[in-house]
Amino acid sequence: MSELPSVHVAVLLDEVLDWTAARTGGLIVDGTFGGGGHARALARIVGETGLVIGIDRDPAAIELGQARSAGLPIRLIRGNYCDLPEVLEELGLETVDGIVLDLGLSSDQLADSERGFSFSGTGPLDLRFDPTRGEPTWRLVNRLGEKNLADLIYAYGEERLSRRIARAIVEQRQKSEIRTAAELADLIRRSVPRQRHERIDPATRTFQALRIASNEELKSLDVALRRLPDCLKPGGRLAIISFHSLEDRRVKEAFRNDPRCEALTKKPVRPTDEEIERNPRARSAKLRVAARA
């Protein structure tokens, strides 16, 4: 992946720049660096006297980002955004002016057919952001019992046909292991035909569930929502882009109930029709912003 140019398009870019109130000399954290679109735009605003700290669990994103961020005030660090207090301590910093999290997949990850994020991927069904940690998803799919697999798909994918999908997976793996994204996606499509009114692929919710489980994404978000407000200066802003209700609900409740946070967006900021036309993957994005009280 490091040899490929970035194909990622930053979601809600103008809105993030406006709501974070970035300024010359500011100190901003992009906790989900990904393709680097938000970080590079923020770096141009903070300028030489400021700094953007880019964090990502994916070593490929960090490697690609080093080349694409040359000449900009960006410091890249491999890690999990929920560990930001430790990152700042290591850098000799206490608080920052703003934090941005984009919880969606990078288009660069989807474009890498060897990691399983794309339904047509021919490489191993991995789905880990950091391929050096944890269990690849294909092992999870071939190991879990039918009930546990169905419960996981329902809880993390909000897939109402989870039991049918889990049953099909178990029946298939009795014949041969499921190893690639393409194999799993095809199996799900045969088990759950696309409904006429549905715009998404029948495999979408199951892949979401497996990816969340493989990366412990909701655990990271829960930890971050508890820890990140203390990393902000008074008035500093925390901007979070989510892509499904499991994430958005957590962000909404944290901003509403945490006395350290003042919710600035009463309703989530959504992409314009023009942005969705340019970048269909932005369709489900929701931005919420809070200020440190």
Judge whether residue 4 has pLDDT over 60.
no
Mean pLDDT of the chain: 93
The domains located in the chain, with CATH, are 13-108+219-292 (3.40.50.150), 116-215 (1.10.150.170)
CB 289 within 8 A of CB 237: yes
pLDDT digits (tens, 9 = 90+) for 25-49: 999 999 999 999 999 999 999 999 9
Return the SS3 of 229: helix
Judge whether residue 90 has pLDDT over 70.
yes
In which band, very low, low, confident or very high, does the pLDDT at 1 lie, cut at 50, 70 and 90? very low
For residues 276 and 195, the model is more confident at 276
Mean pLDDT of 116-122: 81
Mean pLDDT of 131-157: 96
Specify burial of residue 248 (Cβ count, 10 A radius: 0-12, 13-18, 19+). Answer: buried
pLDDT digits (tens, 9 = 90+) for 55-69: 999 999 999 999 999
Judge whether residue 194 has pLDDT over 80.
no
In which band, very low, low, confident or very high, does the pLDDT at 176 lie, cut at 50, 70 and 90? very high
CB 104 within 8 A of CB 11: yes
Q: Residue 6: what pLDDT?
A: 54
Mean pLDDT of 117-129: 87
Q: Residue 167: what pLDDT?
A: 98
For 114-134, b/e burial (b = at least 16 CB within 10 A) is: ebbbbbebebbbbbbbeeeeb
Mean pLDDT of 102-118: 76
Mean pLDDT of 264-269: 97
Query: Which strands form 286-292's sheet, in the order they lie side by side?
Result: 74-78, 51-56, 27-30, 96-102, 232-242, 286-292, 261-263
CB 236 within 8 A of CB 96: yes
Q: Which two tokens stand for residue 248?
A: 């958005």
Mean pLDDT of 145-162: 97
The model's pTM is 0.92
Q: In Å, how far are 83, 86, 180 from 90, measured between CA atoms?
A: 11, 6, 39
In which band, very low, low, confident or very high, does the pLDDT at 153 lie, cut at 50, 70 and 90? very high
Q: Which two tokens stand for residue 94?
A: 């206490």
pLDDT digits (tens, 9 = 90+) for 205-228: 999 999 999 999 999 999 999 999
Q: Residue 184: what pLDDT?
A: 96
